[in-house]
């Protein structure tokens, strides 16, 4: 940012060079200064204060958005903090893939919601076309903002933890573009990955071991092998229905038999498959709601 084409202003009272930007403030705004009337720094400081006050006033009128991690599926694996928030929330948003009739996140929290809670499903298409995906989340952000603007607090529920491959991040990114002043609080959740590894009694990583998360469906074929070779431990998520590339790469790296597949972790129909083989992975239909954990330790 520059003012009148200048990057810096000069404080004549204290002989200081001050950058001119959105945080500029007079060196001592509450002290008398004979240079004040012609001081660029003072003038910009005044404008900055007014802008920040206006943004704060706007934010005060708006409701808060709570990003709520609801854990992997078992309603007992939701945090007390999340339950407290859900019990008093007025409006809840959840994402739902188009064509899918139920939201797993909603089924987990349903019993904690007050009778008066309004529930809205934000539809999105499972596409890896970035532009289309972004356009959908820009629209979804508008719907959430409309409610926040009425002063209501809103919750956005998301499976596992909000910081790991969650649609909450797409919503938040778009909301901040529309209204940078929004207030947000994020409540962590038990990730499906840690739920699965703990259930199996298989640590994801210990001591100096490295760990890589691989969102399989979104990884280019050429990138897959280097990622597989990178770490001591691997967690595959978002497994595509056609998992042939994944299978071939694991097989060629001699890792397929070391993979443990947890399907619908903590949900009805949970399945664990150890010492995987090609045929099982190829035939299995329910691939999306599953994680694959591979530990290389002792491979050689």
Ligand X SMILES: C[S@@+](CC[C@H](N)C(=O)[O-])C[C@H]1O[C@@H](n2cnc3c(N)ncnc32)[C@H](O)[C@@H]1O
- Residue span binding ligand SF4 (CB under 6 A) among the ranges 21-29, 58-66, 98-106, 124-132: 21-29
Sites for ligand SF4 among residues 34-93 (CB under 6 A): 35-36, 39, 41-42
Q: Are 295 and 202 contacting, i.e. CB atoms less than 8 angstroms apart?
A: yes
**Position 159 contacts ligand X (CB under 6 A):** yes
Cα dist. 231→141, 160, 203, 210, 252 in Å?
A: 36, 23, 14, 5, 16
Tokens for 10?
Answer: 């000069």
Which window, 6-14, 80-88, 156-164, 173-181, contacts ligand SF4 (CB under 6 A)? 6-14
Interaction between residue 33 and ligand SF4 (CB under 6 A): yes
Task: Provide the token pair at 95.
Answer: 């994402």
User: What span, in angstroms and rounded, lies between the C-alpha atoms of 76 and 36?
Assistant: 62
Q: Does 191 bind ligand X (CB under 6 A)?
A: yes
Among 3, 8, 27, 110, binds ligand SF4 (CB under 6 A): 27
Question: Interacting stretch for ligand X, rule CB under 6 A, among 9-17, 27-35, 105-113, 258-266?
Answer: 258-266
The helix/strand/coil state of 224 is: helix
Shorter beta-carbon distance to ligand SF4: residue 42 or 85: 42
* Total number of residues that touch ligand X (CB under 6 A): 23
- Candidates 56, 59, 41; CA nearest to 3 is 41
Residue 41 contact partner, candidates ligand SF4, ligand X, none, CB within 5 to 8 A by sort of partner: ligand SF4
Residue with Cβ nearer ligand X (228 or 289): 289
- C-alpha 136/C-alpha 153 separation (Å) is 22
Q: Name which of ligand SF4, ligand X, none residue 33 binds, using a CB cut-off of 5 to 8 Å depending on partner kind.
A: ligand SF4
Distance from C-alpha of 211 to C-alpha of 67, rounded to nearest angstrom: 26
Q: Report in angstroms how near the CB of residue 223 gets to ligand X at its nearest.
A: 18
Kindly report the backbone phi and psi dihedral angles of residue 123, in degrees, each rounded to the nearest multiple of 5, phi listed first: -80, 145
Which partner, ligand X, ligand SF4, none, binds residue 293 by CB below 5 to 8 Å per kind? Answer: none
By CB under 6 A, is residue 160 in contact with ligand X? yes
Termini Cα distance of the chain:
57
Task: Scan for tokens 């993979």, then name that residue.
Answer: 259
Under 8 Å between Cβ of 203 and 233: no
**Tokens 């129909």 correspond to what residue?**
269
Interface with ligand X (CB under 6 A), residue from 8, 112, 133, 288: 288
Residue window 262-281: x/- pattern of binding to ligand X, with contact defined by CB under 6 A: x-xxxx--------------
Q: Quick one: which of 32, 34, 35, 5 has its CA closest to 20?
A: 5
159 binds, among ligand X, ligand SF4, none (CB under 5 to 8 A by kind): ligand X
Binding site for ligand X (CB under 6 A): 72-73, 158-161, 164-166, 191-193, 237-238, 262, 264-267, 288-291
């Amino acid at each position: 940012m520059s003012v009148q084409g200048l990057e810096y202003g000069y404080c004549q009272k204290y002989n200081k060079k001050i950058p001119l930007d959105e945080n500029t403030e007079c060196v001592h705004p509450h002290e008398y200064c004979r240079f004040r009337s012609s001081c660029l720094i003072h003038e910009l400081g005044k404008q900055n204060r007014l802008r920040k006050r206006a943004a704060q006033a706007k934010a005060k009128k708006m409701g808060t958005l709570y990003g709520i991690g609801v854990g992997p599926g078992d309603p007992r694996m939701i945090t007390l903090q999340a339950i407290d928030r859900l019990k008093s929330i007025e409006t809840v948003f959840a994402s739902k893939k188009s064509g899918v009739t139920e939201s797993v996140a909603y089924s987990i929290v349903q019993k904690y919601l007050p009778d008066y809670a309004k529930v809205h499903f934000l539809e999105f298409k499972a596409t890896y076309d970035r532009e289309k995906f972004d356009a959908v989340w820009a629209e979804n952000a508008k719907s959430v903002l409309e409610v926040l603007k009425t002063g209501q607090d809103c919750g956005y529920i998301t499976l596992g933890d909000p910081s790991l491959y969650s649609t909450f991040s797409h919503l938040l990114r778009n909301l901040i573009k529309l209204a940078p002043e929004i207030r947000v609080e994020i409540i962590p959740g038990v990730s499906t990955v840690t739920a699965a590894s703990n259930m199996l009694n298989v640590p994801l990583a210990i001591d100096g071991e490295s760990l890589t998360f691989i969102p399989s469906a979104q990884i280019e074929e050429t990138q897959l092998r280097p990622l597989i070779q990178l770490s001591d431990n691997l967690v595959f998520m978002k497994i595509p229905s056609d998992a042939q590339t994944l299978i071939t790469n694991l097989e060629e790296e001699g890792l397929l038999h070391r993979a443990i597949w947890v399907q619908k972790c903590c949900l009805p129909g949970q399945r664990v498959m150890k010492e995987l083989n090609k045929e099982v992975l190829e035939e299995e239909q329910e691939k999306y709601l599953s994680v694959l954990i591979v530990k290389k330790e002792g491979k050689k």
